[in-house]
Structure 1
């Protein structure tokens, strides 16, 4: 068991991870501004550390006594980074480098970074992306993720900081906020629930690798409980689903036959991204994968009860 600090511990993935680490017996500190309150933390063993990611002092104080650090916070989304490309450099990239420096000073033994399997590979004629394939991100968000991955390598070589880049596909699940306009499934389910207009980018043929949050967290816990052989892992369902197939699942679960308004697809959107997760499964075995209908049903139930 280890002392774990989750940066972004009140966010969608960070909260699920904080709770799961505590259930597994780790001592967990969730670092966040907690601007939405601390309702995302459900396990008594998780301690809240209120702080600002952009404050070097706040980060340094949170690192005291920690062993493992999980960097699961982003100051941007794909949309905000697209609208202001330099924002990701000035905030995410710059402060992540500061965080890595502070981790070296604090003697952190392991550093886990939530990268993006959906944005980092870019547009290539590949059916399933492997970790050793070329990375050609075309969006500012993906470029920023890759830049931080490169800094992980630098700190690993220069200072011996053991780090792992987790290239996460398209996670979705309960407790996912739609305020940041990120996450197709919860956004559309909220729109169905409220009767709002539903938009579709392009013709709905875009393919993504959607992974239910509980399945993703189990994969991360497997990495934490072992001595991983690699420094980079694709984490996803390993299965491609079109946007139209997602909409069909939502119609089945909600029993609402909604229509969509088609919008132009942004130039930097990638048509198809499906992750090859064989590096993970060869090392840790096949995780249980929640079907799309099961996951959509869980999110729909959560939305209706909230």
Structure 2
């Protein structure tokens, strides 16, 4: 067993930046369920036990984080796309501050997006990135800053696909459900060929735990984690109609979508961990109403 595998223990001192958000709160719950006892949540509010008032865009947070000497920092921030100015600050100034805040032994896990690949037929982690939207471009900027500013044995980048789950407050599934219940016309700013991979948030939490238990730091700097379910917008709408009995009026714009990759391999992650999902998108849809 490597020194790294031994280091990720239930006694490890862990900071979840943005840990009270959608992704972070689910991962925190998984860690707590299996007995991790030294978890801290970093957020702008910083309310409650083991909650730290942190804003990585603020220089004051750098010293606070560094003084705590965390073993692992998971960065769940920077997931916003609007306003773009906030996204810009989180993924540039915020990342630079975070790099400065890491102690010598701290391991940083950065949550990124498969949107960094842009559009095409197939990619894996060895392919060049060609993002086509401001959000994906800024996620790639954050990656590049971390790759350049930290030692390989201290950093890991996880590129995620679309995440869904029972408590998700917004997104395409919330929109389809709300529209189906109200007979609202569906409006999309693309031609319906937008293609996405989907991973349940609880599967993601278990997948991240599996990675932390098996990965060798420095040997695999970037991992795709995309999920087995994949649909375009037309197929998603069909799935909702089939399982919930809705009949939608659809309105599409004759515009090709951006960041539209047709196949994304996450074989490296699956071969490393042996991970298999427990949830399917169709089962999730059936339980929405």
TM range (shorter): 0.7 to 0.9
Distance 1:264 1:189 in 2: 24
Aligned match of 1:29: 40
The C-alpha deviation readout for 1:188-246, integer Å capped at 9, x for no partner, is 22333455443223232221111111111111111112333411000011443111111
Match of 1:121 in 2: 117
The residue number in structure 2 matching 1:241 is 231
Partner residue of 2:222? Answer: 232
Q: What do residues 62-111 of structure 1 show as CA deviations (whole Å, max 9, x unaligned)?
A: 4514210001111631x543xxxx654334211111111111xx334211
Q: TM-score, normalised by structure 1?
A: 0.80
Q: Which residue of 2 aligns with 1:92?
A: 91
User: What is aligned with 1:143?
Assistant: 137
Over the aligned positions, Cα root-mean-square deviation in angstroms equals 2.6
Q: CA deviation at 1:285?
A: 0.9
Find the counterpart in structure 1 of residue 6 from structure 2: none
Unaligned runs of 5+ in 1: 39-45, 302-306
Contact 1:198 1:261 in 2 (8 A): yes
1:157-172 matches, within 5 Å, as: 157=151, 162-172=154-164
TM-score by length of 2: 0.84
CA distance in 2, matches of 1:206, 1:247: 12
Match of 1:293 in 2: 282
How many residue pairs align between the two structures? 275
Which runs of structure 2 are paired with 1:251-270 in the superposition (5 Å)?
251-263=241-253, 265=255, 269-270=258-259
Out of 18, 27, 32, which is 1:17 matched to?
27
Tell which has more relative contact order, 1 or 2 (C-alpha 8 A, sep 6+): 2
Runs of 4+ in 1 over 6 A off after TM superposition: none
What is residue 78 of structure 2 aligned with on the other side?
A: 74
2:194 aligns with one of 182, 206, 214: 206
Match of 1:275 among 250, 264, 289: 264
The answer to whether the Cα contact below 8 Å between 1:170 and 1:210 also exists between their aligned partners in 2 is yes
Contact 1:155 1:161 in 2 (8 A): no
What 5-or-longer segments of structure 2 have no aligned partner?
1-8
Cα distance in 2, alignment partners of residues 57 and 113 from structure 1 = 21
Contact 2:57 2:97 in 1 (8 A): no
